[in-house]
Structure formats: C-alpha cells, structure tokens
Amino acid sequence: NDQEWVDWSIPALKPRTGDVLPVSEAIHEINDIFQRIGFTRVRYPEVDWDWYAFEGLNMPKNHPARDEWETFFVNAPTNEVKGKVVLTPHTSNGQVREMERLNSQPPIRMINIARCYRRQQDTTHTQMFHQFEGLVVDTDITIQHLKGTLDFFAQQFYGPGTKSRIRPFHFQFTEPSFEVDFSCHV
C-alpha cells in the first residue's frame, strides 16, 4: 500500500489562536511606563454626565466643544444637576472624577486611557479613538516636571534618544495649552 498509515486517535495540534490587539498592547505598555514613575491608572465612564465632561472643567454652556456637531449626546433623561448624558469627547472627565474621589487632596498622579467619541470624521479622524492623559496635582510642580515626564515616556515608548518638545499652542478647548512633539522614532 502506497498510503502512509495515520493514527486518528492521536490528539491534534492546537492551532494558534490570535494575538493581542495593537491598541491593547499599547495601552498595557503606556500603563506600565507611567506606573514606574508613580502614576496610578484610573478608569472612568465613557458614557458620562455633561457636568463631568464639560461643566466641571469650566467649559460654559456656550463653549464650542458642547456643540451638537462636536459631541454625541445620548437620548436619556437629563439630570437636574449633572445635565445631559454624553459619550465622552475626551478623557478629562477622569480628572474631575479623580479629584472628586480624592477630595482634591494632593498628591494626585493619575493616568487615564480610554475611548473617546467625537462627531468629526475625515481621512485622519474617526468618531471613536483612544486617548490618554495624565494629571499631577502636588506642591512645587513645574512645567519642567511635565517636560521630564514626557522625555521619560518618549524614551521608554519610542526608544532611547527620543526627545520631546513642548511649545505653547492655542487649542480652542483648553487654555493654557501646549503642543507636544516627539522626535522621529522610525
């Protein structure tokens, strides 16, 4: 007989079953980097009250970010104190909730990594994206601490020798603001 004998009772080899998604991998790596320098990862709702997304961040009712063309408002009952329900357009609702949770008592060193939702969509933007931000509240904190944190992150995430640059910039939704650049890491 030309056919090779096969023992069908032997267990089969288990097929490879996927990998970690690149976004999940990046979130884990970013979290690990910031934990090494004393930050705590917090998680807050992606569907939240208008108060946490805007009011608590001093964005008045007529602020451009609160426009229906910018923000997804959820068709849900309005709370008399906290307003409408929104899909979070940024991760800053976590800052308000963390300061509320800790009664604004320093030190606060948090990082929030979450999905955000905005109504803008074009070739470089989708309506859902991931964002991360940190918050440090303490005594004797300066912009130099921010610069050092960004340099540490850049070198850990993108590799040794990567530099960061911060420069004043006007963003319609935050003031004062900085634009952050990293040197080419490719």
CA 114 → CA 76, 86, 90, 108, 147, distances in Å? 22, 15, 8, 19, 23
More confident residue, 67 or 127: 127
> CB–CB of 171/146 below 8 Å?
no
Distance of alpha carbon 24 from the chain centroid: 12
Residue 102: which residues within 8 A CB-CB, separation 6 or more? 108
Q: Residue 39: count other Cβ atoms within 10 Å of its Cβ.
A: 20
Looking up tokens 């288990």 gives 14
pLDDT digits (tens, 9 = 90+) for 11-37: 888 888 888 999 999 999 999 999 999
What's this model's pTM, rounded to 2 decimal places?
A: 0.82
